[in-house]
Structure 1
Amino acid sequence: METTNRLIHEKSPYLLQHSHNPVDWYPWGDAAFSRAKSENKPVFLSVGYATCHWCHVMEKESFENPEAARALNDAFICIKVDREERPDIDAVYMAACQLLTGRGGWPLTALLTPDKEPFFAATYMPLHSRFGQPGILDLCAQITTLWQEDLMDQGQKILNAVSEIKGHLLRSFEYRPSLSLDESLLGAADTEITRRFDSRFGGFEPAPKFPSPHRLLFLLQRHEQGRSPEALNMVETTLSSMRAGGIWDHVGFGFHRYSTDTQWLLPHFEKMLYDQALLALAFLETYRITRKVFYARTAEEIFAYVLRDMTSEAGAFFTAEDADSEGEEGRFYVWPFDEFRRLLAPFPAHWETLLNASAEGNFHDEATGRKSGTNILHTGVPLFEWAPRLHVPEADLIKEWEDIRSRLFAVRSLRVHPLKDDKVLTDWNGLMIAALATGARILENPVYARVAARAADFILTNLRTADGRLFHRYREGQAGVPAFADDYAWMIFGLLSLHRADGNPRWLARAIGFQGILDADYRDREQGGYFMNLDPNDLPVRPKALYDGAMPSANSVSLVNLTCLYDLTGDKQWMDQAVHLAVSFFDTVKTQPSAHTFFLTGLSAVLQKGNLF
């Protein structure tokens, strides 16, 4: 008989995925921690997101397993969190995981005291211990012994560990203001990025390889300022390699989340809204600088994917599409060679070579390296480079490819589609609004501005409180979760981009209003910058993000926003605030400049007196 737990009442698709687990899950809240205190049990916290492949693996192995569920229920009070719905919870306990293990990722697993203090953390955990990695069953047994039977002996050790971890956590969210600003960080970031650049395939790290489009935007800014002679080459190499690789969906458009190899071939197949928006911005800005149609066309194809598959009937943008379908990662996207050859029978034979399809296949299991016999279609280099090699006019090759792509797309559409995470997030929508508005301006296409305006109106109508503040999440007609600093920062970014695209003063007025709320509710008046969350007492520490990861931080975006507000209004208060924000984090960014490139984009604008790319 199917079980049902408390998650059945939640709106998050990720939590609903776990609502029939035999694990007695709670959502994050007072009820779970009150029970933990009354029963004197530790808390098992599991954080993930709906389109995460390894989250699915851990659910199948452990959370759907009756034996593991009994062990978890006996040893812990169990809490599930959607990291996209509660990024503040994720930020705090991911910081703990990185402090304890030196690495992070999802699913995130943490053990907490009933007072929310972490004392153990890990990422994916197998059911049984293996290769020195603890398994769920052994963890439950060990913690039961430690927490209950040896509590008198071990309790003080746990408390000491908790105290030490909390001290490290507090320091990890502390930033000491600088006494001055200068351009040294910009040059240091240039040097660091250039040193890490892969001159063959592009990108800036070994596998796994993430797109990091905010680094590309920083490099474009440096190129335009004449400060980095290699910047444009690094951007073009990276964008063209990604666009020709398997990380790009050649049949249906859009970028997958990241590549597991150095040449951008084998991706993790989930598609995230923020990646589409940030990469569209990178392709658009590169087109503006180079006027190469390839970049404009790619941005248009990203928008085509988002408008087709990631947009609600009301005009808002969904969050993500899953990597898995029918229980297998990538199944929707890969091609058995026999099917591929049959579909391409009417076309020249060179397409097998051009699309890198073979009987052996190029899609292999990430863990074992075993070939699957299926193919990730990719061109290796852009089509315009193939045309002279094949002695075919570029226009003819592109037309031929579009005929093939349409045929493949029609057949693929009949497959079981990956799950779509259809919640609407304010911050991610603000970023997509900015990308579309920028597309309208650079490509001179007013359709994109209208689409962006419709999404902005949806957020302004459906995700606001009675006093004008924002909510973070909307799904099935219901807004919820008080906004985070990121929601304000990215909505301001989107509204300012819309104002620049269509000149409508209401977007600027709304952006200024939201900046006022961000300053009133989230600003750290002692050390500067913006806290992530509204409630200072909900977590062991109040997080303040600066690192520019998959998405730039709220503080980095705010630095860009404040310089834009100064640029658009000429009001000196915005530049004064920008300088204060830059000073707050300048010394911290010195430790690793290339990890804060969107912040550096804003810093460069501050130093240039408000002139952005």
Structure 2
Amino acid sequence: MERESFEDEAVAEILNREFVCIKVDREERPDIDQVYMSVCQAMTGQGGWPLTIVMDSAQRPFFAGTYFPKVSAYGRAGLLELLPRLAQVFRSEPDNVERVASQISAALKRAEQEEKPARGAVPDRSLLESAVLIYKKNFDERYGGFSDAPKFPSPHNMVFLLNHAALTGDEDARKMALHTLRAMAYGGIWDVVGYGFSRYSTDRAWLVPHFEKMLYDNALLLQAYTLAFQMTRDPFYQSIAEKIVIYVLRDLGAPDGGFYCAEDADSEGEEGKFYVWRAAELREWLDAKDVDEFMKAFGASEAGNFEGANILHTPHSFWDEPMEEREKRFSSSLTRLFEIREKRVRPHRDDKILTSWNALMIGALAYAGRVFKRDDFIARAQRASDWIETHMVREDGRLLARYRDGEARYLAYQEDYAYLAWAKLQLYDATYDPDHMARAVAWTDEMVRLFWDDQRSGFFFYGSDGESLLARPKEVYDGALPSGNSVAAYVLARLRAMLGQERHREWCDRQIAAFYRDVKAHPVGYAQFLQALQWLLYPTSEVVIAIPEKTQDASPFLVALTDHVHPLRSVLVVSEQTRSLIQSLAPYTIDHVPREGKVTAYVCESFACKAPVTNVNDFVRQLSMSES
């Protein structure tokens, strides 16, 4: 609509004469997007973007829709006809406008008031099992994924399934997750030449992407591929994870520490032009003796697979060949194509820095750094975290949502707080620096203060200090992004298991009860929420490593932890320097002290502790017992 209508002089003349026009960036103001998308769905029965809302001066909508062409076509009203008609209705039929606006506003208020949590509901493992059965029913056995086209990565599905497999031994859940991750990396949704994943696939086979690349997709996929490696030790998943990091740091990394939002799908007015290759181009730029084999190995042909050009990918006939061997065989050709591509006109980069998406990348980087023993990943995550704390927090401590051109703006939303608390937990796991744990707790406490619904439980989307809109919604559905309420449930479940504090237990229980009815009705729509339930419904593992004053080397114990994976394990490392802070966060650690002047490990299951050990071999035996 921007190019077709808003830049058109005839449309602009009507808009400027008859309306006060406000264009909203839904990434900067997701609260407005949430509220008015619900209006559109209520008025038309459907939603989507671009979103078009016409409202009165009291911000009450009386007309809603999505895309409108410039001129009427195929039964859809065009703006040149629609806009004058709306202006005329507003002037000549004020009673009708008032009636519709009042009805919509009242319906939104009524929906809020009718919300009732499922108090007394106690989730059990059958809910998780029912979700897995639905995943199995919907699974695409050839190409992976759990839907028809278009296919979105939705990495939180794979994380849930991998954790479920580790907790229950369900081999089918494991295979579904791993096959989907492998199929995506073999498809055109993965950028073979420059790395990184596109936003979604327009077809079942993950071949033809919508070429836009999003920071949040790559952050969530980094987490999923890292977990897949952790569960399998298959270097394929590590290779993809590390290449995601290469892409993000190279193309989305801001020089002063944060990460930019996205890269557009199109350049020079054509979608995918930056990424695709005509056969003649490949023959011109690649070594003649290699080009035929290269084209075969990466699915290119004279006819092409995308508007006469080629999206490079791994054809199904090559799936059994290790990707690393194929890329090594053609490394010089891939390098050459990358160099050629860098000379093309790049897609526009959205240089907003969003707290929420940055937090996802910070957490994923820290996690990958821990698993792959990449201190550089952890350092980059730490740098971005420090940048957020420095540039995105007002003097009064209020978190902000967006940074661009030297300006931090907009009060942060609940998802910003939830994602940031999650990121701090990941940083703590990667560094055992208790300051990260303290910040996770602090951001969680602030999230409760600003967003918690004390009457019905759950978190509102925008804060009590935010701009008052027609409604104050709560989002829990896990779509392309996990919802703020689902991540909050996960954070509270982790804090409850790690710190043993009563307030986290109470908030967690109320959070689960608030949305239990929704989750039970459609569990696969809440994969992140299901991960929180895993922390509550299965035995957790708690490890405290106490380091005496004169001994700082606990590395043999920490290495053992890395080698013995438990999806529900919390680790606290307590030294003489950190003891006071950790005890204030986790009071139960007051009795977890070094024995005989040695590094001492305490291994517990759901807070029932085994005898403390000072020998690494004994520690490993206890870890193995807790995994069985």
Which of 581-590 and 274-283 deviates more? Answer: 581-590
Report the counterpart of residue 81 of structure 1 in structure 2.
24
* 2:118 equivalent to 1:177: yes
| Mapped partners of 1:140, 1:211: distance in 2 | 38
Report the counterpart of residue 215 of structure 1 in structure 2.
157
Question: Among the aligned pairs, what percent are the same residue?
Answer: 42
Structure 2 residue matching 1:473: 3-state secondary structure = strand
Tell me the alpha carbon deviations over residues 414-458 of structure 1, each in whole angstroms, 9 at most, x when there is no partner: 001111111111111111011001101111111111110000000
Report the counterpart of residue 527 of structure 1 in structure 2.
456
Paired residue type of 1:398: E
TM-score by length of 1: 0.84
Of residues 460, 466, 484, the one that matches 2:389 is: 460
Tell me the alpha carbon deviations over residues 268-298 of structure 1, each in whole angstroms, 9 at most, x when there is no partner: 1111100000011111111111111100100
Tell me the alpha carbon deviations over residues 314-333 of structure 1, each in whole angstroms, 9 at most, x when there is no partner: 12111111111111111111
Of residues 419, 432, 435, the one that matches 2:361 is: 432
Contact kept, 8 Å, 2:152 with 2:199, in 1: the verdict is: yes
Report the counterpart of residue 623 of structure 2 in structure 1.
none
Structure 1 residue matching 2:21: 3-state secondary structure = strand
Structure 2 residue matching 1:347: 3-state secondary structure = helix
Report the counterpart of residue 425 of structure 2 in structure 1.
496
TM-score by length of 2: 0.83
| Mapped partners of 1:281, 1:84: distance in 2 | 22
| Cα distance change of structure 1 residues 194 and 301 upon mapping to structure 2, 3 Å threshold | same
What does residue range 249-260 of structure 1 map to in structure 2 within 5 Å?
A: 249-260=191-202
Tell me the alpha carbon deviations over residues 386-440 of structure 1, each in whole angstroms, 9 at most, x when there is no partner: 36xxxxxx76533122222111000000001111111111111111011001101
Report the counterpart of residue 222 of structure 2 in structure 1.
280
Of residues 585, 592, 596, the one that matches 2:522 is: 592
| Cα distance change of structure 1 residues 282 and 72 upon mapping to structure 2, 3 Å threshold | same
**Structure 1 position 219, deviation (Å):** 0.7
| Cα distance change of structure 1 residues 498 and 382 upon mapping to structure 2, 3 Å threshold | farther
| Mapped partners of 1:495, 1:63: distance in 2 | 42
**Structure 1 position 185, deviation (Å):** 2.0
**Structure 1 position 59, deviation (Å):** 0.7
Which of 601-610 and 336-345 deviates more? Answer: 601-610
Contact kept, 8 Å, 1:96 with 1:165, in 2: the verdict is: no
Report the counterpart of residue 51 of structure 2 in structure 1.
108
Structure 1 residue matching 2:168: 3-state secondary structure = coil
| Mapped partners of 2:429, 2:272: distance in 1 | 39
| Mapped partners of 2:476, 2:436: distance in 1 | 26
| Cα distance change of structure 1 residues 159 and 458 upon mapping to structure 2, 3 Å threshold | closer
Report the counterpart of residue 479 of structure 2 in structure 1.
549
Tell me the alpha carbon deviations over residues 349-400 of structure 1, each in whole angstroms, 9 at most, x when there is no partner: 222122221222211xxxxxxxx2111111134966236xxxxxx7653312
| Mapped partners of 1:573, 1:592: distance in 2 | 29
Paired residue type of 2:6: F
Contact kept, 8 Å, 2:362 with 2:385, in 1: the verdict is: yes
Name the Cα RMSD after superposition: 2.0
Higher RCO (CA < 8 A, seq sep 6+): 1
Tell me the alpha carbon deviations over residues 468-502 of structure 1, each in whole angstroms, 9 at most, x when there is no partner: 22111111222111111111111110011000001
Structure 1 residue matching 2:23: 3-state secondary structure = strand
Of residues 114, 133, 148, the one that matches 1:191 is: 133
Report the counterpart of residue 62 of structure 2 in structure 1.
119
Contact kept, 8 Å, 1:575 with 1:610, in 2: the verdict is: no
* 2:251 equivalent to 1:309: yes
Contact kept, 8 Å, 1:575 with 1:606, in 2: the verdict is: no
| Mapped partners of 1:159, 1:449: distance in 2 | 51
What does residue range 6-85 of structure 1 map to in structure 2 within 5 Å?
A: 58-85=1-28
Which of 522-531 and 400-409 deviates more? Answer: 400-409
| Cα distance change of structure 1 residues 133 and 176 upon mapping to structure 2, 3 Å threshold | farther
| Mapped partners of 2:436, 2:390: distance in 1 | 14
Contact kept, 8 Å, 1:240 with 1:382, in 2: the verdict is: no
The structure whose Rg is larger is 2
Structure 2 residue matching 1:92: 3-state secondary structure = helix
| Mapped partners of 2:317, 2:253: distance in 1 | 28
Paired residue type of 1:130: A
* 2:179 equivalent to 1:237: yes
Q: Which runs of 5+ in 2 are unaligned?
A: 542-566, 569-628
Tell me the alpha carbon deviations over residues 14-54 of structure 1, each in whole angstroms, 9 at most, x when there is no partner: xxxxxxxxxxxxxxxxxxxxxxxxxxxxxxxxxxxxxxxxx
Tell me the alpha carbon deviations over residues 205-235 of structure 1, each in whole angstroms, 9 at most, x when there is no partner: 1111101111111111111111644111111
Paired residue type of 1:360: A
| Cα distance change of structure 1 residues 171 and 216 upon mapping to structure 2, 3 Å threshold | farther
Paired residue type of 1:358: S
**Structure 1 position 116, deviation (Å):** 1.6
Q: Which runs of 5+ in 1 are unaligned?
A: 1-57, 364-371, 388-393
